[in-house]
Amino acid sequence: MKARLGETTIAQADEADLIRIEGNWYFPPESVDFDLLQTSDTPYTCPWKGECQYYSVKVGNEVLKDRAWAYPTPYPSAIDKVGRNFSGYVAFWKEVEVVD
């Protein structure tokens, strides 16, 4: 599967390597092109997953604020609930399209 903004692929991995949480696909960190992401200082802590790290997506001159996120150190109870360790996995929102 691919996460794309227009024709630019931001992440790519086999579906078996992704994790689906609350309707979002989370890509393993090694499958993500972090050169296209900028760390955001937007704070957020999910009540059940833990502290979130947002990223802005930058492709060419376009910067989309907080369109990607990860949980670097999710709560152990969240890992138990999901059934897999999703530490550092990256999900995408809005204009970033996830396709087969």
What's the fold here for domain 2-99?
2.170.150
Does the predicted TM-score (pTM) go above 0.85? yes
Residue-wise pLDDT for 65-97, tens only, equals: 999 999 999 999 999 999 999 999 999 998 999
Boundaries of every domain in the chain: 2-99
Question: Is the Cβ–Cβ distance between 71 and 89 less than 8 Å?
Answer: yes
Question: What are the respective helix, strand and coil percentages of the chain, to the nearest 5?
Answer: 15, 45, 40
Task: Measure the CA–CA gap between 16 and 22, rounded to whole angstroms.
Answer: 17
| 3-class DSSP state of 35 | helix
Taking the C-alpha atoms of residue 77 and residue 2, their distance in angstroms, rounded to an integer, is 29
User: Residues 9-58: pLDDT tens digits?
Assistant: 999 999 999 999 999 999 999 999 999 999 999 999 999 999 999 999 99
Rounded (5°) CA angle 71-31-14: 105
Q: What are the residues facing 18 on neighbouring strands?
A: none
